[in-house]
Structure 1
Amino acid sequence: MSKYRAVIFDLDGTLLNTIDDLAAGVNHVLALHGYPVHSVPEVQSMVGNGVARLMALAVPEGTAAEEQSAMLAEFREYYFSHSEVYTKPYDGIEELLAGLQSRGIKTAVTSNKFDAAVKKLCDKYFGSLITVAIGESADTPKKPDPKMVEKALALLGVGADEALYVGDSEVDIVTAKNAGLASVSCTWGFKSREFLISERKKVLGNADPRMMIDEPSELFSAME
């Protein structure tokens, strides 16, 4: 029997493959302003720290702050209404969430995506399989600040020692550490297995193979 009563997930690159819609949104705004667009792999290398950082990396160097601010607003508007064109859950995710629910394990999502989009995507793709969904907002700073995870724990009614954090990036590893949670790194997302091993060693001092999973179903073993 697992000692964990809850699992907190990252969203992009962990539960949902969102990269094609993110890239389309970035390139839509760049094209509107007459700037060169990026390939999907290039955009993938920019994600993980919220949409403000994504757009800051995507625009040409030297772009005026006022224009960057306008482009960020344009991205938010466009992406919110075009976030479900190519996006889909990774294989095995819906079965994983259903399996957790059947075992009485609570679930939450904490994401550096803006809050309205996080709630919209979780509701569309997962419905009641996700209990709590939180994104970045004016009163909820982005990860690796632990406040988002702490808010999720409070809403779930569990302590940090009763929850496991699952994500696909270095930001997730640091976030879990900052919030006092054990973490699992998934390798099917936006970062490579080799990169995640290196980051776990750097942040945690080890890369326990039990806490590296290549398939969603492997999470059940990691929770034992």
Structure 2
Amino acid sequence: MKEYSTYIFDLDGTLLDTLNDLAVSTNYALHWAGMPEHSVDDVKVFVGNGVKKLIERAMPDGINNPKFEMTYSKFKEHYIEHSMDTTKPYPGILETLAELKKKNKKIAVVSNKFYDATQKLCRHFFCDSVQVSIGERENIRKKPAPDTVLEALRQLGAERETAVYIGDSDVDVNTAKNSGLPCISVLWGFRDKNFLIEHGATSFISEPNQLLNY
């Protein structure tokens, strides 16, 4: 089995269980706008393509709703203040990252979460192990475009041939494919195994420490 020296991780649903805080902020913004709120399970389906797309999916008429921009702004205001209320690493994540670091692996996070929130969460939870973290910003295309992955490799000084991508969604499967990287799909995140298989996933792990065998 090939040994990798560079690990590129998705954030939400892969390293961190962020779902409840995302749902609370979504419903805060929807309530402000006088619109119907959603269950956590609804929000679980909406996530994966960045928070702007999350709010678009959560609102009646989506981006065409005249209140869209203000509602999106209210979400971001609330989320940056409350993004760590209940969010936490999945069991085994911190230990696995520490072990990868001990083996001198290069580690990055690439997320469709907006840049400030990505930086805040990575600094708080993973400052000892993650060397590079990249979130959504205006001058770089979101996943599944390869841009954030390629930028992470550039900042790490790593070659594509040394790297593997780890994520929990169809967006991640396509990001890895578009980046020319192998993909390991995790089974503790926001999408189940059958869904992932239907969207092209072929390699799976059910516990973080299984990464250490790659």
Structure 2 partner of 1:8: 8
Contiguous gaps of at least 5 residues in structure 2: none
TM-align CA RMSD = 1.4
> Alignment partner of 2:49: what SS?
coil
Structure 2 partner of 1:212: 204
Amino-acid identity (%): 45
TM-score normalised per structure 2: 0.96
Structure 2 partner of 1:168: 168
Q: Distance in 1 between matches of 2:199 and 2:212?
A: 23
Q: Distance in 2 between matches of 1:213 and 1:149?
A: 21
Q: Distance in 1 between matches of 2:94 and 2:23?
A: 24
Q: Distance in 1 between matches of 2:89 and 2:37?
A: 26
Contiguous gaps of at least 5 residues in structure 1: 202-206
Q: What amino acid is the match of 2:183?
A: S
Shift of 1:3: 3.2
Q: Could you list the per-position Cα deviations for residues 181-202 of structure 1 after superposition, in whole angstroms to 9, with x for gaps in the alignment?
A: 111000000000111122126x
Shift of 1:64: 4.5
Shift of 1:66: 3.6
Q: Could you list the per-position Cα deviations for residues 13-69 of structure 1 after superposition, in whole angstroms to 9, with x for gaps in the alignment?
A: 000000000000000011111111100000000000001110000011377444101
Structure 2 partner of 1:70: 70
2:190 corresponds to 1:198: no
Q: What amino acid is the match of 1:212?
A: F
Q: Distance in 2 between matches of 1:174 and 1:36?
A: 32
Structure 2 partner of 1:31: 31
Q: Distance in 2 between matches of 1:134 and 1:140?
A: 10
Q: Distance in 2 between matches of 1:128 and 1:86?
A: 21
Q: What amino acid is the match of 2:154?
A: A
TM-score normalised per structure 1: 0.92
